[in-house]
Each structure stands twice: as C-alpha cells, then as structure tokens.
Amino acid sequence: MPELIPARLSLDESGTPYATDFADCYFSRQDGLAESRHVFLQGNRLPERWQCRPQFTIAETGFGTGLNFLATWQAWQADPQRCGRLHFISIEKHPILKDTLRGLLVAWPELAPLAEELLAQYPPLLAGFHRLRLAGGCITLTLCFMDVLEALPEIVAHVDAWYLDGFAPARNPTMWQLPVLQGMAGLCNADATLATFTAAGEVRRNLQAIGFVVEKRPGFGTKREMLIAKASAELMSQQGIPSWFALPEPVGNRHARIIGGGIAGCQIARSLAERGWQVTLLEQHGRLATEASGNRAGVLIPKMTAQPGWGESFYQQAFLYALRQIRMLEQSGHEIEWAQCGALQLAHEPREAARQQAIHERGLPDDFVQIVDAETASLLAGIPLLVGASYFPQAGWLYPASLCRALADHANIEIRCLEKAEPSQNEGVTVFASGNMADQYAQSAFLPFLPVMGQTSRGKASAFTAGLRTTLGHEGYLTPAVAGEHIFGATFVRHVREAQLSEAANSINFQQLQQYLPEFAASLSQVASGHAAIRMTTPDRYPVVGALPDDGLFRQAYADLRHGRTRQAYPPAMYQSGMFISAGYGSRGLATSGLCAEMLAALMDGEPLPLQASLYGNLHPGRFLIRQLAKGL
C-alpha cells in the first residue's frame, strides 16, 4: 500500500481552504456548512430516511475538512427520531494534517463540540482504514485513507446514501471516472440514494448507464444545478469478498455466550453489549484475566515491517484503535492502569537495523514512528543505550486485568466465574474466546492452533533502573518500573500445553536482558518469576476471527480449488450455526483484540466492517482450509 501524501492547501482571498494540487476549493465560498446541508442532507432526504431505523450507512468520496460529516452528525444529534447507529464511511487520498484541520474547523463555532471529539480521535496520516467511535459509540466514522479505486473494493458495507464530494470533475477527473461509480454502485443497498454538487453531463450519463435514476435539482449558491439519484432495481450489491469468505447472516437472537474471560472475551463482550446484546461472559477461573491475559504488564505497540503490506496495515490500524478505545473507557469513568510512555524497539541486531532504515526511508508520520540514533534513544529512554531504535511515541505498557475489568463493566454483561461451558443454541450464539477452549472445539473447522508457553520475569527497580521512562524491545521486552518492579521476558516455548513457572525460564529471560542491556541487568535485584501462561497462536501468526466454518461443507463446496479453479462460480460459505470465534492472538492481543472484536460484532450485527475486505479474508477462520484445498491437500 503506497504511503500517504498529505493534502496541500492554502486559504484563498475569502479565507476558504483551497487545494493547490487540484486548483479548487474544499467547499462553497458563500457558506460551506449550508452547502453541505443543501446538497448532501437534503439531496439524500436526510434525516427523514434514517428515522426509526436501527442503523443507517452513509458513504462519501472526499472527506476533506470533515464538514459534511460534522453537518450530518449535528443533524443526527438534533433528530429525536434518529437511527440507533449511524455509520459514516469516507474515502480520502490526501487527508489534511490534524493541526491544519483544527485551524480550519474553528470557522464553524456551532460545530465546535463535535469537531473537538473528532479531532481527539483523528488518526495519524497512515494509509488504510481507521474506525472512530463517536457520540458514545452510536456513530462510527471509518476513514479510508487511500485512493478511491483501491478503497472501494476494500469496503464491506451496504450503503444507504452516498455523498459524492470530490473536487470538480474538470479538476479531478479520476474521482468521477466510470470505474469509481461502478465500484460505488456495487456497495449500494436496494433503496440507496446519492447526491452531489456537480451536474456535469458525463457524471450524469455514467450514473444512468450503471443503473441509477438521476434527477437535476437546484444547486447551492452560484451553482445552478446539482444531481440526485436513486438506485434502480437492476443495481445489485457486489461486495469484494470471495465466496469462501462470504459474510455470515446477521444474528437475530441477540444473546451471546462468550467462553473465556481474558482480553479477547472481554473485548467481544463489550462490543456486543454496546450494541444492545445481552451477554453472558463465562470464565472457568475465579476472576477475569487469569491465563494469557494475567501478566502484570504487557507492551502496547504496533508491529512494523520493512515494506508495507496487509499485516503491517492490520497492526497499525488495530494499535490506533486500541488507544482510542482506552481513552473512551477512561472518559466514561473506568480506571485502567496503563502508561502511554512511548516504546523503543532497539536496533539490537543487523537485520533489525536494516528494517528500521527501510522504515525511515518510507517517511511515515512522526507522531506514529520515528527512527532515532543511540543518543536520542538514550534521552527518550532515560538510561544509556548503545544502539538506535524505532520510537513509537503513542505506545506504552498496560495492565491487562484492569482493561478486562473496564470492558466487562457494562449493564448488558453478566459475568459467571468458575464455570466452563458447552456450546448451547438455547441461549443464543456462542463465541469462543478462550485459547484452550477454542483449540478444543475448533477441530471441526480445521483451525491449526499452536500452543506456546510464555513466562515473564520481574526484578526490583534500583536507583539506576528507575530512570527508565519508556518500554524497551529487543528479542524480548522490558517495562519501566511498575509498582517498584520491572517486567521483562518473555520465553517462547512451542507445543507446551501446561503452564508452569520455572527458574530455567527466569534464567533465559535474564540472560537475554544481560545480552542486550548489560548495565540495566546488573542493576536489577531480586529477580523472580512473573507469570506463565499458554498462548494460542496460528501458523501465520495472525488471529482467527469470524464465524466458524463447517469443515465438511467447505471441503465439498470448494473442492475444485485443488485444480486451480479460482474464477468459477462457487456457493457462499457455510458456517456452523451460531458459532463464532475470536482467538489465536499469541502475544499481540493487547494491540489487536479490540479491532477484531469490533469486526466480529459488526459481522454478527450486519454492520459495515471496520477494516479492509482483504484484512477480513486474512483473519477469516476458513483461511487455512482454503489454503490447504488450493494446494491440493
């Protein structure tokens, strides 16, 4: 995925933001907010069409200053008959920098509270999808920072209304070309509408050619005409997902039993509860966050690769979502023990140093990652370091149990500890979110989980080590002092299913610390065992999230994949009734389980997905079986 180029803009003589690359204004010089209301809200018959509906989805080409979104949010907020959840998806190839955006939005004082909430969650300018939850979670804004032709096939949604708001067709013809409009049409609900400020003949003819019934209406201000349109019966929704990853049917019985009270289970419990589900959270131990989530402190950090790819995009988006979620929980009164102290990943060996150099050359935003030399790394860390590092200023450490307690503290969640559970269709759907239980029950879906035992160690802080201000990564990780102790490790022992604390594991952790941070290791005292647990991972190291496939039906339906027949028509995927999974997070659950839970809840409720279609496929529970069939096995 190409790196983003931020918007280049100036203010014209009227004070209106002007895109220098497209020689066009972002909105009307007369009154941008009034234009948004006239063209996009009235043009799509809003708020009338969303009233009394459980959810409504709007998609937009061209986020710009966010004015259309804020006008829509304001109208939704003022409507006593508003829909229960409003989903807004906006595509922007050249997003505006946060500080610049802040300066532009002050022109609209009546939108100030909404603009501040938007800006508080506005992401770094990283390519990909960014899911923001606003208005207490009742509004989702999915910012698609990428080219429109790349973004449209990646959107998984049934759109009720479109805002076509690219720069004028004469100035930015790429945004209005026929393939863009076709991709947009493929996402439409049966009764979808659209509105746009332009009345250009080519745009009107292309819309008619692909199945829209188009009308001209009076435009705003000096624009004589604008276009509105409605999807005709011939327009069919075409999501960009292979048949074997087809979406499951939304669940009608809104009661879920979540098996597992760790990070994964508490995350999906919260996501469903916030959507009005009744959730029973089952944990076989006496309290939440006991096994893989039972560590005293884990590092919250994204995973980076030398070259951009889907995996890095997933980790970036999930990490940023995790930060936004923690802040939302804190704002609603929950106490979470964490520190956004920054994280340094040391260039501890040549391959890591080369990777960091490649990251540096990509020019990623400084508020997400910086590549620093040893001197700067030492200043950031607060202790002397011998090598440079990649620095993540928004990263830090987190006490998983505190997050689990905050997530599970919801009126719609009932916690039952000391209880194991069998799947039961009498109580709604079942979600497997315990690694061990998922491994046990997922055999019928061909899920090759791999057990890995990890043990952390802890050491009493000294006057020297207490100076550490950031987390440090090398082959393992190290935290600043947490309640007077540093947490470090962890071991990684495959194919072990029983977790046991051992002095041998402590020795391995300490020897690793001595190798990369000798002065720090020498200053620690009272090194002891921390926490040991079995973490389930997968052959490709990514979690498994979605509906559980029916192994036998999958093999039967997609047998021809053995012969390389990927282009023929296949039936949609078939799943085990009422069975879902969120597991296989390995050591990355703190950063990734929140976004994955949001995706799973969206699947179960029939909402737009918070991430790209390609990422959904790469997390799908059926991916290993499909790969096996494709190899002829």
Burial of 576-613, coded b for 16+ CB within 10 Å and e otherwise, reads bebbbbbbbbbbbbbbbbbbbbbbbbbbbbebbbbbbb
In terms of Cα–Cα distance, which of 195, 171, 164, 172 is closest to 49?
A: 195
Mean pLDDT of 195-222: 94
Mean pLDDT of 546-561: 91
Return d(Cα 46, Cα 166) in angstroms, integer. Answer: 20
Q: Which of 535, 556, 590 is the last residue of a domain?
A: 535
- Domain assignment present for residue 442? The answer is yes
On average, the pLDDT of the chain sits at 93
Together in a domain, 416 and 517: no
Together in a domain, 152 and 259: no
Q: Which of 535, 553, 574 is the last residue of a domain?
A: 535
Instruction: Tell me the CATH number at 71.
Output: 3.40.50.150
- Domain assignment present for residue 505? The answer is yes
- Domain assignment present for residue 260? The answer is yes
3-state SS assignment for residue 210 = coil
> What pLDDT score does 292 carry?
86
3-state SS assignment for residue 588 = coil
3-state SS assignment for residue 549 = strand
Helices 263-273 and 589-605, interaxial angle, to 10°? 40
Return d(Cα 149, Cα 154) in angstroms, integer. Answer: 9
| C-beta separation of 594 from 267 below 8 A | yes
Return d(Cα 299, Cα 338) in angstroms, integer. Answer: 10
Distance from chain centroid for Cα 435: 21
Together in a domain, 411 and 523: no
pLDDT above 90 covers a percentage of the chain that reads: 81
Together in a domain, 46 and 194: yes
CB atoms within 10 A of CB 202: 14
Together in a domain, 100 and 15: yes
Residue 43, pLDDT above cutoff 70: yes
pLDDT above 70 covers a percentage of the chain that reads: 96
Together in a domain, 159 and 36: yes
Q: Which of 535, 556, 576 is the last residue of a domain?
A: 535
Measured in degrees and rounded to the nearest 5, phi and psi for residue 290 equal -105, -40
Residue 633, pLDDT above cutoff 80: no
Residue 427, pLDDT above cutoff 70: no
Return d(Cα 166, Cα 372) in angstroms, integer. Answer: 38
Return d(Cα 248, Cα 245) in angstroms, integer. Answer: 9
Could you tell me which residues are beta bridge partners of residue 532?
455
Instruction: Tell me the CATH number at 391.
Output: 3.30.9.10
User: Mind listing the pLDDT tens digit for each residue in 220-253?
Assistant: 988 899 999 999 876 656 667 899 999 999 998 8
By CB atoms closer than 10 A (0-12, 13-18, 19+), residue 389 is buried
Together in a domain, 348 and 421: no
> What pLDDT score does 238 carry?
65
- Domain assignment present for residue 551? The answer is yes
| C-beta separation of 76 from 87 below 8 A | no
Instruction: Tell me the CATH number at 547.
Output: 3.50.50.60
DSSP 8-state secondary structure symbol assigned to residue 37: I
Of 21-30, 156-165, 168-177, 299-308, the poorest mean pLDDT is in: 21-30
Residue 423, pLDDT above cutoff 60: no
> What pLDDT score does 300 carry?
97
Residue 549, pLDDT above cutoff 70: yes
- Domain assignment present for residue 272? The answer is yes
Together in a domain, 127 and 266: no
In terms of Cα–Cα distance, which of 52, 81, 30 is closest to 219?
A: 30
In terms of Cα–Cα distance, which of 170, 155, 34, 142 is closest to 86?
A: 142
Burial of 244-283, coded b for 16+ CB within 10 Å and e otherwise, reads bbbbbeebeebebbbbbbbbbbbbbbbbbbbbebbbbbbb
- Domain assignment present for residue 418? The answer is yes
Residues found in the chain: 633
Helix or strand run (H / E) with residue 77: helix 67-78
Together in a domain, 271 and 130: no
| C-beta separation of 91 from 146 below 8 A | yes
Distance from chain centroid for Cα 370: 22
Indicate the pTM of the whole model: 0.95
Return d(Cα 610, Cα 317) in angstroms, integer. Answer: 10
Mean pLDDT of 540-552: 93
> What pLDDT score does 568 carry?
83
Residue 422, pLDDT above cutoff 70: no
User: Mind listing the pLDDT tens digit for each residue in 74-88?
Assistant: 999 999 999 999 999
Together in a domain, 141 and 218: yes
Together in a domain, 196 and 119: yes
> What pLDDT score does 30 carry?
85
Helices 310-331 and 400-408, interaxial angle, to 10°? 70
Together in a domain, 139 and 51: yes
- Domain assignment present for residue 35? The answer is yes
Helix or strand run (H / E) with residue 360: helix 350-361
In which domain, by residue range, is 182 found? 9-231
Domain count, the chain: 3
| C-beta separation of 525 from 553 below 8 A | no
Burial of 163-175, coded b for 16+ CB within 10 Å and e otherwise, reads bbbbbbbeebeeb
What string of DSSP letters covers 618-633? Answer: HH-TTHHHHHHHHTT-
Mean pLDDT of 471-478: 96
- Domain assignment present for residue 530? The answer is yes
> What pLDDT score does 145 carry?
97
266: confidence class by pLDDT, cuts 50, 70, 90: very high
